[in-house]
Structure 1
């Protein structure tokens, strides 16, 4: 009985029929997982690139304004961000006019307006960002634009949905006027 069983086991070990099926069962899930992860990562970086471009486009548009901007203008910038990123949102936008005043010891917030999940920038928020701001002359101003959007990958990849992954920070100097003013009208 034992010899018969060993004979069957040896014959089974030598038999090569069905190897392709076994290899397919082993490799196809791995290849599909790698393709899904690659697609998700490519899509995430594409989306991040669109968000960075949208933030700089908004910053550049605001920097060219010579008239005061208002709530309708900021709402239009959020609509522009939605159009440029082509996503379902939600969108968060914070625009802050920052002034460097040497007599006051550094950077000051002149005004800050938000849409979405951001709150208006305070002096302590600005203190946390000073390492990211450029060197400025006395009484010089810059427009700080921050954007943040949520992203849902087409396939779940660990670490891709972490908070702040699609946060963008940029600044621009006013181009045609010494400062951008806010109108409450």
Structure 2
């Protein structure tokens, strides 16, 4: 009995039939995991790029305005954000007109409007953003546009996007007027 078991084990050890199937079973999950992670990373960078471009498009559109900005205009900018990013939402947008006071070395929030999950950006909040804002002349203004959109990766990859949120921040100087004006019309 023991001799037949040892004989069968020796024959099994020498037999090379079926190695490809076993190697495929071992390596296929790893290869599929790498492909899924690569696809998810590519999609995340593509989506991040779309969000940055959308934020700068909105900022550029606002910088060209000479008429007062109202609620309908800002709602249209949220629709533009959803169109450009093509995500499932929700979308958040915050537009703030910031003025620099060189005498106090301080950025001042002249007005801020939000849509979605953002809160109003106050002058105190701008103190913590001092290094993110550009160097300005006394009483010069910039339009600060912040966007946030939700992102769900096609495949779950640990550490890819744990909070499922893409936040973008940009600023533009008003082009055709010294400042843009908010209207409650």
- Please give the TM-score of this superposition, normalised by the length of structure 1: 0.96
Corresponding position: 1:29 with 2:37: no
Structure 1: gaps spanning 5 or more residues: none
Structure 2: gaps spanning 5 or more residues: none
Counterpart of 1:37 in 2: which secondary structure?
helix
On the 8 A contact 1:148/1:164 being kept in 2, the answer is no
1:88 Cα offset (Å): 1.2
Query: C-alpha distance in 2, partners of 1:176/1:48?
Result: 30
| Root-mean-square deviation (Å) | 1.2
Cross-structure match for 2:129: 129
Counterpart of 2:130 in 1: which secondary structure?
helix
Cross-structure match for 1:92: 92
Corresponding position: 1:54 with 2:54: yes
Deviates most, 123-132 or 162-171: 162-171
1:78 Cα offset (Å): 0.3
Query: C-alpha distance in 1, partners of 2:42/2:165?
Result: 14
Cross-structure match for 1:151: 151
Matched positions, count: 185
Query: C-alpha distance in 1, partners of 2:128/2:154?
Result: 34
Query: C-alpha distance in 1, partners of 2:149/2:42?
Result: 17
Cross-structure match for 1:168: 168
The equivalences for 1:59-98 within 5 A come to 59-98=59-98
CA gap 1:72/1:39 in 2 versus in 1, 3 angstroms: same
- Please give the TM-score of this superposition, normalised by the length of structure 2: 0.96
Query: C-alpha distance in 2, partners of 1:165/1:175?
Result: 31
1:169 Cα offset (Å): 0.4
Deviations, residues 13-70 of structure 1 (Å, cap 9, x unaligned): 1100111110111111111111111111111110000000000000000000011101
On the 8 A contact 1:95/1:112 being kept in 2, the answer is yes
